Amino acid sequence: MSKIMTFQEMQNYYDGQWLLIAYTELDDNRQIISGEVLAHSPIQEEIYKALESLQQQPLAIEYVGKVPEDLALIL
């Protein structure tokens, strides 16, 4: 059963995982304030597979936790 959580709650609960979030509130900088976690996994590809079945929703993909040293990020 999914529920609306704050982004801070998501970070605490799903530490070290990728999240697919149906967000319900953003701040002025378009950062997630709250939403519903639709899928979570430590493997990014699993989140993209879950994304394929969803349409017409405001969605975001976020990694929560410490970024591994061997991971390169493109901003």
pTM score: 0.80
Whether 68 has a pLDDT exceeding 80, the answer reads no
Q: Where are the domains of the chain?
A: 4-64
First-to-last alpha carbon distance for the chain, in angstroms, is: 33
pLDDT of residue 2: 66
User: Largest alpha-carbon pair distance within the chain?
Assistant: 35
pLDDT in tens, 23-57: 999 999 999 999 999 999 999 999 999 988 887 77
Please tell me whether residue 50 adopts helix, strand or coil conformation: helix
Burial of 61 (0-12, 13-18, 19+ CB in 10 A): middle
